[in-house]
């Protein structure tokens, strides 16, 4: 049976669900309230009933539970095949996927198979008066948000940047769970994740305090880390530092990195290009230090300190030591 609805692909993380998927599910709930289309979460792999019910609390009206142990770990071929089959059968209007590494891998291939349009890495989502999904992505160096619609083909697909939306939660929420046993016999399973180690990888989007280093730090991440530790903060960087390979891309803030929601962000030697500032717009208090009194970063800061990092930061670290 077909059902006009908004689907959210729920990526697995161990025996739970990836946070980005829950954020997207929360946004889908909001779109549902506006469009009247119900929200269906699609969860692959085996999971116990209690956990499935809990996912509904995050905003789903219904769950499609793809009950197949071979889907417990990500496999491009098996996931694409399973998703393609149920999408063709049930014809959702909209299909949203978190833009995680697996989500991006899945979405591109699935959209090509379904011959439909996909907006990659959306930072805004809305439905217009005609019920079309409007997905916003930064364009022209982040100066505008380009709004993309897919008028003709279905489902309208988008991947959503991690950390963009807040999850919804209502423990009283009820919903239906439909169990599907996908037929994956005969599917060539070429690349499969055998084991996913949840490492101590830092999810910057969850940091409450962040110290962000730019070119002005001359890449001295030792100093930056010492300062960050002294105030109990995580560190992030601008793109040039990640480009130079000084730190992994997982720490990059901005339009092609992560968007932060830190309560406090201390920004060191960053000029304030729009590519960067789009990643700090949802932070609480922003404190910036820059040599240049006319630095653009000060237009995006609550507290502006004109000075030399190499003079001020060692002093700040010393002060924190005295306090402790
Ligand atoms: C398609 C595209 C996507 C991009 N995506 C991103 C992104 O996601 N994130 C990102 O960050 N960038 C991104 N960029 C790059 C972005 O446009 C800027 O080039 C970059 O953010 C600049 O980094 P910065 O501020 O660290 O360096 P700079 O622009 O070099 O600024 C350094 C600042 O440090 C100050 N300074 C120097 N020495 C000191 C000192 N001793 N003490 C105090 N201050 C000092 C300077 O006055 C200056 O303001 C992108 C660019 C493109 C084209």
For 258-305, how does the pLDDT look when each residue is reduced to its tens digit (9 = 90+)? 889 899 999 999 999 988 998 998 899 999 999 999 999 999 999 999
Q: Is the pLDDT of residue 311 over 60?
A: yes
Q: Is the CB of 46 under 6 A from ligand 1?
A: no
Assigned domain for 190 exists:
no
Q: What is the CATH number of the domain that holds 264?
A: 3.40.50.1220
Q: In the prediction, which pLDDT does 199 show?
A: 52
**CATH number of the CATH domain containing 152:** 3.40.50.620
Based on the fold, state whether residues 160 and 292 are members of the same structural domain.
no
Is 278 found in the same domain as 135? no
- For residue 261, the tally of other CB atoms under 10 A from its CB is 20
Dihedral pair phi/psi, residue 38, rounded to 5°? -70, 160
Is residue 157 located within the same domain as residue 246? no
**Distance from residue 105's CA to the centre of ligand 1 (Å):** 29
pLDDT at 324: 57
Residue 269, ligand 1, Cβ within 6 A: yes
| One domain for residues 171 and 208 | no
Residue in the block written with tokens 């991440």: 221
> What spacing in Å lies between the alpha carbon of 292 and ligand 1's midpoint?
13
The count of structural domains within the chain is 2
pLDDT band at 257 (very low <50, low <70, confident <90, very high): confident
User: What is the DSSP track for 83-107?
Assistant: HHHHHHHH--SEEEEE-SHHHHHHH
Does residue 208 sit in the same domain as residue 258?
yes
Query: Do 131 and 56 share a domain, yes or no?
Result: yes
Distance from the CA of 124 to the center of ligand 1, in angstroms?
Answer: 24
Task: Kindly state whether residues 226 and 172 are assigned to the same domain.
Answer: no
**How many whole angstroms separate alpha carbon 182 and alpha carbon 57?**
25
pLDDT in the model for residue 248? 86
Does 214 sit in the ligand 1 pocket, CB within 6 Å?
Answer: yes
In sequence order, the β-bridge partners of residue 139 are: 144
If one residue of 227, 290, 294, 299 were mutated to test the ligand 1 pocket, choosing by the most ligand atoms within 8 A of its CB, it would be 290
51 shares its domain with 164: yes
Q: Is the CB of 155 under 6 A from ligand 1?
A: no
- The pTM for the full model equals 0.73
Domain housing 212: 204-323
> Residue 117: its pLDDT value, please?
97
Question: What local confidence, expressed as pLDDT, does residue 312 receive?
Answer: 97
Residue 57 domain-assigned (yes or no): yes
Together in a domain, 245 and 307: yes
Point out the domain boundary residue: 164, 180, 196: 180
Establish if 186 belongs to a structural domain: no
13-69: per-residue pLDDT in tens?
A: 988 999 999 999 999 999 999 999 999 999 999 999 999 999 999 999 999 999 999
Q: What is the mean pLDDT of residues 199-219?
A: 87
pLDDT tens digits, residue range 105-150?
999 999 999 999 999 999 899 999 999 999 999 877 666 889 999 9
Report helix, strand and coil shares of the chain as percent, to nearest 5: 30, 25, 40
């Amino acid at each position: 049976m077909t059902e006009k609805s908004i689907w959210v692909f729920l990526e697995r993380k161990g025996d739970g669900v990836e946070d980005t998927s829950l954020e997207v599910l929360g946004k889908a709930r909001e779109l549902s309230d506006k469009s009247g289309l119900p929200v269906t979460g699609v969860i692959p792999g085996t999971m116990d009933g209690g956990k499935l019910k809990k996912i509904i609390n995050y905003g789903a009206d219904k769950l499609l539970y793809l009950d197949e142990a071979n889907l417990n770990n990500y496999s491009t071929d098996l996931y694409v095949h399973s998703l393609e089959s149920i999408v063709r059968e049930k014809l959702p209007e909209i299909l949203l996927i978190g833009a995680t590494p697996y989500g991006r891998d899945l979405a591109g291939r699935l959209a090509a198979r379904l011959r439909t349009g996909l907006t990659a890495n959306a930072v805004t989502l809305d439905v217009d008066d005609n019920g079309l999904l409007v997905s916003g992505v930064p364009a022209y160096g982040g100066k505008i948000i380009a709004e993309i619609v897919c008028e003709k083909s279905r489902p309208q697909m988008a991947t959503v940047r991690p950390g963009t939306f807040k999850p919804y939660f209502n423990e009283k929420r009820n919903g239906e769970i439909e169990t599907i046993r996908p037929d994956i016999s005969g599917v060539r399973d070429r690349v499969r994740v055998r084991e996913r180690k949840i490492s101590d990888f830092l999810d910057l989007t969850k940091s409450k305090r962040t110290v962000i280093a730019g070119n002005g730090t001359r890449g001295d991440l030792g100093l930056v880390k010492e300062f960050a530790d002294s105030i109990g903060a995580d560190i992030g960087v601008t793109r040039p530092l990640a480009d130079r390979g000084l730190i992994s891309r997982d720490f990059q803030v901005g339009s092609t990195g992560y968007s932060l929601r830190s309560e406090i962000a201390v920004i060191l030697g960053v000029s304030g290009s729009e590519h960067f500032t789009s990643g700090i717009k949802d932070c609480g208090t922003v404190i910036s230090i820059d040599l240049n009194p006319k630095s653009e970063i000060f237009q995006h800061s609550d507290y502006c300190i004109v000075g030399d990092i190499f003079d001020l930061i060692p002093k700040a670290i010393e002060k924190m030591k005295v306090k402790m």
